[in-house]
Amino acid sequence: MNKRDLDNTLAIFKREFLSYFNSPVLYVIVVIYLLASMGFTFFFGRFLDTDNASLTQPFFFWHPWIYIVLAPAVGMRLWSEEHRLGTFELLMTMPLSPWQAIIGKFVAAALVWLIGLTLTFPVVITVYWLGSPDLGPIITGYIASYLYALGCLAVTSAASAYTRSQVVCFIVSVALCILLTLIGYPGIVDTVVRTVPASLESIVRLISYLSFMDHFFEMSKGKFIFRDVLYFLSVIVTALIITHLGLRSKRA
């Protein structure tokens, strides 16, 4: 990676990031995200009634469900918009490699999420105000939550490379994110394990191991496990490679 690659990636990143602020989408999504995460925490998570200075159950528990819908909403314009406007042709005839564009755009969307996630800080202040929480699980919870969002964003990026319609991209991405979440959801996995023959249990466990949920829960409980981080990173890399294939197929 030389300076020229970095410059190209930065230029793409800058344009993409600023374009989020030019459209109302970003503001709407961040506001809904904050309302949803706080609403779930205080009303469904019964944060104040549990009398427990931990964010794992009342706060982080709900994040995957929010990301399933909102991460595709942030990411759906990444490549669909380029295809629709025709600027994709312009971009691909400029002296940059597709990878620089893919990474620049993904990092822009990722930074948007970082802003959203950072704005949930009042809940951390609240829990410190009311009790004396353990800092470790809060940090790993935030990391896990962010990685979850990035995983969903990468899946959305892959879907958007294949279609010029943002609606199609959104629906496909939500479906994929739900799938990747549910195949590891403890209640569902346990039910399946009970119904299938014992010989198949290891396969069910293997499939559930591939889901976002399995890795997210471990981390949000306060265990910072390198392999879980590695898992999310490999999901992101895989999804970006699929994005690359999608873009290449559009130019064939």
Q: Identify whether the C-beta of residue 156 lies closer than 8 Å to the C-beta of residue 169.
A: yes
4 part of the interface to other proteins, by CB under 8 A: yes
Q: Please, what is the minimum distance in Å from the beta carbon of residue 91 to other proteins?
A: 8
Binding-site size for other proteins (CB under 8 A) equals 25
Closer Cβ to other proteins, 8 or 208, answer by number: 8
CB of 75 to other proteins, least distance (A): 17
Quote the least distance from Cβ 27 to other proteins, whole Å: 14
Q: Which is nearer to other proteins, 4 or 223 (CB)?
A: 4
Q: Kindly state the tokens that stand for 173.
A: 């991405």
DSSP state of 196: S
Alpha-carbon separation of residue 45 from 16, 40, 152, 235, 245 (angstroms): 35, 6, 23, 29, 41
Site for other proteins in 155-174 (CB under 8 A): none
134 lines the binding site for other proteins (CB under 8 A): no
Q: Which is nearer to other proteins, 22 or 195 (by Cβ)? A: 22
Q: What contacts 206, CB < 8 A, 6 or more positions away?
A: none
- Picking from 205, 213, 245, 207, the residue whose alpha carbon sits closest to that of residue 232 is 213
Q: Where are the alpha helices (DSSP H) in the chain?
A: 3-22, 24-39, 63-75, 77-85, 87-92, 98-118, 121-130, 135-160, 166-182, 186-195, 201-209, 212-220, 226-250
CB-wise, 76 or 213, nearer to other proteins? 76
Site string for other proteins, 7-36 (x = CB under 8 A): xx--xx-xx--xx--xx-------------
Residue nearer to other proteins on the CB measure, 20 or 60: 20
Contact 42, 48 (CB under 8 A): yes
Q: Which is nearer to other proteins, 14 or 46 (CB)?
A: 14
Minimum CB separation from other proteins for residue 22, in Å? 4
Smallest gap from residue 80 Cβ to other proteins (A): 14
CB of 13 to other proteins, least distance (A): 11
> By C-beta, is 90 or 167 nearer to other proteins?
90
Residue 173 Cβ vs other proteins, minimum distance, rounded to whole Å = 22
Question: DSSP of 26-86, one letter per residue?
Answer: HHHHHHHHHHHHHHIIIIIS-TTTTT---STTTTGGGHHHHHHHHHHHHHTHHHHHHHHHT
**Distance from the Cα of residue 217 to its chain's centroid:** 15
x/- map, 72-111, other proteins, by CB under 8 A = -------------xxx-xxxxxxxxx--------------
Q: What is the Cα–Cα distance from 35 to 70, expressed in whole angstroms?
A: 12
Report the interface residues with other proteins, using CB under 8 A.
4, 7-8, 11-12, 14-15, 18-19, 22-23, 85-87, 89-97, 251-252
